[in-house]
Structure 1
Amino acid sequence: MIIWECSQGTANEAYPHIKPHGSHDFADITTGGHWDGILDSRIKYHHASTGSAFFEAFEDWFGVYALCVRLYTRMRLTETRDKLPSFSGIAKAFQLRFAQSFTNPEYIAGLWKPFLIQQLRWRRTRTEGRRPFRTEGPPSWAWTSMQDCQIDLTDIFFPDEDDRFMVTLLEHRVSPVGQDPFQELKGGIFTMEGWLWKLKKTDIPPSTHLELFFDEQKDGRLDDGALPLFPERAQTIEYANLSKLSGDEQGLLVTLQCLVNRRQPRLYFYWPEGLHSDYDGSNGAWLQQLNLNDSVDFSATPLDLINKHRSEINGAIVYDNSVRDTINLASTIAGIHGAVVATEELAQRFNIPIIEDLRGRFKDKYEVYEYALQNVWPNVTGRLITAISPISTIPYPDRTWATLLRVESPISDKSNNATYEVDLSAFLNPNGSVYYQVEATASPPGYQKLNPVFRDYIVATAAPCVWLTSNKAAEAALLDKIFHALQPNAVYLGWFPNGDEMAGVTQTAKHGVYVAATDWFYNPTFFSGTKSTDKTNKAHPHTIPRQSYPANTTRVYLSLTYLEGDNIQYNQHCMYVHWNDPAQGTRTR
């Protein structure tokens, strides 16, 4: 923890979590993290000498240093030139620790030798505001030159004997204002040599590292696919039935799934969901059909996968339960930053740093999507937009409901606007009273939870995600603005609120956006990396004798032909059941 004061006042980043003496004059400038407990039991190896433990010890300490940088850079200093001096105490403490593993661990503008090449891959992941870039001070290649943003240092690793870096550091130096390299700098340079690759500019607007999913280089050409390309699925996978988890926990694991699967698909989850709770057992049946002999079942302890794949998680995006559409916004932001979507409670329980907190920032869905349109979606792909409900309704188990009033056909005007009398005498309790709530619904009553279905694909591709209807003027106008910002021939994956297919497809078509239904598509990031192993064509032999049936005018002959279905989720579930029906391919008279 650092506390400093100046003539203009006194401030403490950790206040009010840590209160020094005389704290009544301190200002609260915390941004969600504080310093106490950073150098604690996270370190697995306090003393190491040689062998693998030696390397793991250094990696653990460097991980803690990276955490300090992440938390520190989220603090907003009044004077940006104070960044290095105020961080110097932390840096010197780590230099003492690193000196136990390396001779002369040189500090270079916030980075460390001999891992300077690896640390130059630092990332700016959270922007708090913008101030003019200073022409003097830390060199631009150092994270200490950045202002008003969070910095994430990438993990360091120790190359094997057969590995080598493609660049070599030849020379480096920094110019401190005084004699202390830990204090304020005037500048710095380094010289390196290595290979250069020629980059080909495409018409895809720059967004995130996820653009590589859309373009696969073949024979020097870019193959422009309609949907992202995922790596081929791993041979050994980990799977789990998430039925016993809450919606928030399911959402956390599904967004972890995307971080793992976009590197190489290996996680497969399934669970009952709302009115589609069984889906004819197709989710579990797909898992069995894949014949994954070396797979590991985590159904008993699915949350253990968080620690197992912790290295894939850069942090958490916290949504606002009072404005549910922030779940969709959080999904896109999580994809950009390599984060999971979580509640504050889950982030704290699993010790995941909060990258961005959306609570209390928006009053309704319009503010959420307007903010995304202006500040988030310009940084992601314009070739893909998704649409799923942020929440799903789960029917209460083992309950029956009495239908008191029912509309047999759709009514879109006010012709049924009237006062209706309902006999509730059958529902009176012994005291002669009854509590009732009037609600118009197309589904049985239930409880609401975060909707995790298809969300792994949204986070994996960092795609815009909306839940707006074309049948309401205000939402339709906002959709027009959103669709107008997309590239021509973009794809709309998901579905429409209230099943408003006609209005939704009409509006998307006007903007050159085509639609594929995917709102009940489970494990899309897994199946996107799964290739068919069946290369045969099963044609009907011509030797089968044809049977002729005498014409009978008293009968009606019906022929049913199953095609590929009308949407992706139908293929995954209903078509799977039809295709595996024992009666499939038979005929009767």
Structure 2
Amino acid sequence: MTSDLHHAQPSHPVTRRAVLAGSVGAAALGAGMGAPALAGGPPDARAVHWKRGHVFPMVSATGKIVVADVRELDGFDRLLLISLQGLVNRDRPEIYLILDPVDETWIPDLPVRATRVEDPFSLLETYRDRVAGAVVYDIDSPHTINLATTIAGLRGGIVANAEQVQAHGLSVLEDLTGRFEDDPAAVHDWAMSTLWPECTREVLVGLPPTHTVTVEGITWTELLREEDRVTDSSNLDPYTVDLSGSLGADAIFLRLSDAFPQDGWGPAVHAVEVTADGAVIASFVPGTDEETPFLFDGSGSSTKEGLRFADGGGSFIYRVEVPSGTSAVSAAIEVENQFVISATDQAPTRVEPFASFRDFSVATGALVSWLPPSGASGSQFEDLLEQVDPGTVYAGWFSNDVSGEWSGVELCSRAGVIVVAADYYANASVLSAIRASTRATPSARSTAAPENRTYLTLTIGEGDNIQYCQRHMRELWDDPGRGAVPMNWTVSPLLEDIGPALLHHFQTSATENDLLVCGPSGAGYTYGDSWPEDELAVFTQLSGQYQKRTGLDVVYAYSTPVPGGAPPVLPDWVLESYAEDVELRGIIQTDESGEISDPGAAVPLIGTFYPPGGVEEFRSELLARIQEHDGDGPLFLAGLINAWNWTPSDVVALVQGLPEDVEVLLADEFFDLFAQTA
């Protein structure tokens, strides 16, 4: 998220009856906009139900799982089987799918009996009697994948394409082929008028219909690289590169990536002009209509004020068709900061359905949408948010990376809707059913007096992101450096509902140098200062309940980002709401320079110190900050660690290189001392 590279790659106060299934008639589907509401109701027995004070559903407990490995399957087949998983698990949770190695890693830690099947497609035969039929999407109108997912959840079907229907002998429940133009706005309007009346109001799901997948074996030729660490745009200039060596059959692919992915200051492109034998064949400014025909893959980038940028592991690719017989091609690229320019003559990615997390939407009967929160679709997104009560969850993610995150979370916060980053979270429909204790008690408060020295607490971010907790956090947790020095680990208390065995593992395997703290900004990701003031208690009360049950008494919180400026300090009324409803030692707030320091606030508040770069850059800036301190009284610094580019072993290297008068503490003891300086 934002500068924390959250997505380098986000509840109801009153229980309402969730409509988890319905019936969509073929006539209604064919009627187009304004078709009548769906008819029908839920079956007699369901494993999924909603409970007061919980933002995700309770799922009936299971003691066994059937495991299938789908790592070798493409997105089309994954979509088929993940929709089957959701359909089966909503009645009797048991299917667990391995999408990547970390899903395999978790199996020994799950308190269930696991049975494996060799052929994942055998699940279709095993559970064929559960399937009412296939809902067929139209890949030429990609947003019908979200329509098909929603309909499958309402009608008891699975999601398939025409080829899969034939290959697996599936009956057709509904066929969306050719019914919709490739017009996302019109598809969404139809979904709202036709499907929304029968969808659950307890949760909204936001998933991209498709995503790009890297093609193996592609060779990139590096053409130009910024050798220095430049983060201030001082190298902005047009750079000319020769593309003649990448001439293919008909097109050249041009990639911009980050020369120093550790610090989040990758390439920012202002203009591109490509010439073939002296004639201009492409000329555009990023983010404009002129760029669209040439943007082959922008999924790892964002646009802002006439530029396109990509940080960390992100990149973006342009495709330029070259006239037959061309002998010389060059590109003039106006770019700044830490860039790498590469080219190839082969298509480096392909488009597939985005399959992850769809088991959850099928199991819950949720509407699946994909509405970029800015631009024309922003008003549709706002209208959707107005359909649900404050405290409802929007689970999934947003388009356009950082800027989409900022605008999306802000719109949700204004509507009182809580964001949970969940688009790559796997097996939600069965992990919710695997019981494990998540009760925990915070440590006793310390009464020790602070000394005249530097106190440092180091927090690994991203913990509100439940797919991070499931995937990358587990990889970091297994790093041999963990436990050697004090580290705070942000985690989502919502795992109590949607992955209790995962949270239990972190709780029970933590060392005395590991402290779990609550990720932004409590019971889900939100900007408290963007909430309606008279509704924020909905969020803080939910946070208080979750954090008390899971023993999290430090929270890492965000305020509404200001593009190009420092995040505002959380206002008094937000801090007072936390103080009223959440038992907190303190709040760590996003603030890259670490300027915020208010031990006497309603809840002790401190900003994050977050210098870009690796261990040496962090240590250098940290020591400079300590040097600036006049030494009159203790200095408290809350360092933020980039979860995507650091490991616990890196944190150990950082701490071992600090002076003896710097004491590194866990956040609970840190705030106990910090509060005494008020």
| TM-fit CA distance, 1:461 | 0.9
What's the TM-score, normalizing by structure 2? 0.48
1:245 aligns with 2:34: no
Give the number of aligned pairs: 365
Largest Rg, 1 or 2: 1
CA contact under 8 A between 1:214 and 1:227: conserved in structure 2? Answer: no
The DSSP-based 3-state class of the residue aligned with 2:242 is coil
| TM-fit CA distance, 1:477 | 1.6
Partner of 1:512: 416
Partner of 1:337: 155
| TM-fit CA distance, 1:405 | 7.5
Partner of 1:448: 351
The DSSP-based 3-state class of the residue aligned with 1:237 is strand
Letter in 2 for 1:232: A
Partner of 1:355: 173
Partner of 1:346: 164
| TM-fit CA distance, 1:246 | 2.4
Letter in 2 for 1:580: D
Cα distance in 1 for partners of 2:479, 2:80 equals 35
Output aligned runs, 1:419-568, within 5 Å: 421-427=240-246, 435-437=251-253, 439-440=294-295, 441=298, 442=300, 443=315, 445-472=348-375, 474-499=376-401, 500-533=404-437, 558-562=456-460, 565-568=463-466
Output aligned runs, 1:301-450, within 5 Å: 301-363=119-181, 364-402=183-221, 421-427=240-246, 435-437=251-253, 439-440=294-295, 441=298, 442=300, 443=315, 445-450=348-353
Query: Compared with structure 1, are the counterparts of its residues 306 and 450 closer, same or farther at alpha carbon in structure 2 (3 Å cutoff)?
Result: same
Query: Compared with structure 1, are the counterparts of its residues 239 and 560 closer, same or farther at alpha carbon in structure 2 (3 Å cutoff)?
Result: same
> Residue deviations 1:433-488, cap 9 Å, x none?
8742564433364111111111110111111111111222x111221222222233
Segments of 5+ residues of structure 1 without an aligned counterpart are 1-122, 131-147, 153-205, 217-222, 273-280
> Residue deviations 1:149-202, cap 9 Å, x none?
9999xxxxxxxxxxxxxxxxxxxxxxxxxxxxxxxxxxxxxxxxxxxxxxxxxx
Cα distance in 2 for partners of 1:331, 1:535 equals 35
Letter in 1 for 2:430: F
CA contact under 8 A between 1:318 and 1:330: conserved in structure 2? Answer: yes
Letter in 2 for 1:322: D
Identity of matched residues, % = 30
Cα distance in 2 for partners of 1:533, 1:224 equals 18
Segments of 5+ residues of structure 2 without an aligned counterpart are 1-21, 30-35, 255-293, 301-314, 317-347, 486-654, 657-678
| TM-fit CA distance, 1:359 | 1.2
Query: Compared with structure 1, are the counterparts of its residues 579 and 428 closer, same or farther at alpha carbon in structure 2 (3 Å cutoff)?
Result: closer
1:581 aligns with 2:475: no
Letter in 2 for 1:346: Q
CA contact under 8 A between 1:491 and 1:514: conserved in structure 2? Answer: yes
Query: Compared with structure 1, are the counterparts of its residues 215 and 551 closer, same or farther at alpha carbon in structure 2 (3 Å cutoff)?
Result: closer
Cα distance in 2 for partners of 1:457, 1:352 equals 22
The DSSP-based 3-state class of the residue aligned with 2:60 is coil
Cα distance in 1 for partners of 2:413, 2:185 equals 23
CA contact under 8 A between 2:111 and 2:436: conserved in structure 1? Answer: no
Letter in 2 for 1:491: V
CA contact under 8 A between 1:126 and 1:355: conserved in structure 2? Answer: no
Output aligned runs, 1:2-401, within 5 Å: 125-129=24-28, 213-216=48-51, 223=52, 225-233=54-62, 235-272=63-100, 281-290=101-110, 292=112, 294-298=113-117, 300-363=118-181, 364-401=183-220
CA contact under 8 A between 2:361 and 2:368: conserved in structure 1? Answer: yes
| TM-fit CA distance, 1:426 | 3.0
Letter in 1 for 2:399: P
Partner of 1:569: 467
> Residue deviations 1:249-305, cap 9 Å, x none?
111110110111111221111224xxxxxxxx422111122264x42222x311011
> Residue deviations 1:5-63, cap 9 Å, x none?
xxxxxxxxxxxxxxxxxxxxxxxxxxxxxxxxxxxxxxxxxxxxxxxxxxxxxxxxxxx
Letter in 2 for 1:357: D
CA contact under 8 A between 1:207 and 1:379: conserved in structure 2? Answer: no
| TM-fit CA distance, 1:229 | 1.5
| TM-fit CA distance, 1:328 | 0.7
The DSSP-based 3-state class of the residue aligned with 2:64 is coil
Query: Compared with structure 1, are the counterparts of its residues 510 and 208 closer, same or farther at alpha carbon in structure 2 (3 Å cutoff)?
Result: farther
Cα distance in 1 for partners of 2:79, 2:209 equals 10
Cα distance in 1 for partners of 2:479, 2:193 equals 49
Cα distance in 2 for partners of 1:397, 1:562 equals 32
CA contact under 8 A between 1:521 and 1:569: conserved in structure 2? Answer: yes
- Taking only aligned residues, the RMSD between alpha carbons, in angstroms, comes to 4.0
CA contact under 8 A between 1:331 and 1:462: conserved in structure 2? Answer: no
> Residue deviations 1:475-529, cap 9 Å, x none?
1122122222223332100111022211111111222211111011111111111
> Residue deviations 1:404-438, cap 9 Å, x none?
57899999xxxx9x997531233358xxx874256
Query: Compared with structure 1, are the counterparts of its residues 508 and 537 closer, same or farther at alpha carbon in structure 2 (3 Å cutoff)?
Result: closer
CA contact under 8 A between 1:327 and 1:390: conserved in structure 2? Answer: yes
Runs of 4+ in structure 1 over 6 Å off: 148-152, 206-212, 405-411, 534-542, 548-552
> Residue deviations 1:190-243, cap 9 Å, x none?
xxxxxxxxxxxxxxxx88879983435xxxxxx35322111112x231112112
CA contact under 8 A between 2:87 and 2:363: conserved in structure 1? Answer: yes
Letter in 2 for 1:288: P
What's the TM-score, normalizing by structure 1? 0.55
The DSSP-based 3-state class of the residue aligned with 2:78 is helix
Cα distance in 1 for partners of 2:109, 2:135 equals 35
CA contact under 8 A between 2:58 and 2:432: conserved in structure 1? Answer: yes
CA contact under 8 A between 1:207 and 1:380: conserved in structure 2? Answer: no
Query: Compared with structure 1, are the counterparts of its residues 557 and 211 closer, same or farther at alpha carbon in structure 2 (3 Å cutoff)?
Result: same
Letter in 2 for 1:470: P
Letter in 1 for 2:429: T
Letter in 2 for 1:326: T
The DSSP-based 3-state class of the residue aligned with 2:252 is coil
Cα distance in 2 for partners of 1:398, 1:419 equals 31
> Residue deviations 1:390-414, cap 9 Å, x none?
1121111232323557899999xxx
Cα distance in 1 for partners of 2:231, 2:381 equals 25
Cα distance in 2 for partners of 1:539, 1:150 equals 52
CA contact under 8 A between 1:383 and 1:489: conserved in structure 2? Answer: no
CA contact under 8 A between 2:76 and 2:352: conserved in structure 1? Answer: yes
Cα distance in 2 for partners of 1:512, 1:211 equals 29
Query: Compared with structure 1, are the counterparts of its residues 489 and 309 closer, same or farther at alpha carbon in structure 2 (3 Å cutoff)?
Result: same
Question: By percentage of residues, which structure has more strand?
Answer: 2
Letter in 2 for 1:215: W
Partner of 1:40: none
| TM-fit CA distance, 1:577 | 2.7
The DSSP-based 3-state class of the residue aligned with 1:260 is helix
The DSSP-based 3-state class of the residue aligned with 2:76 is helix
CA contact under 8 A between 1:210 and 1:461: conserved in structure 2? Answer: no
Cα distance in 2 for partners of 1:271, 1:212 equals 24
Query: Compared with structure 1, are the counterparts of its residues 409 and 451 closer, same or farther at alpha carbon in structure 2 (3 Å cutoff)?
Result: farther
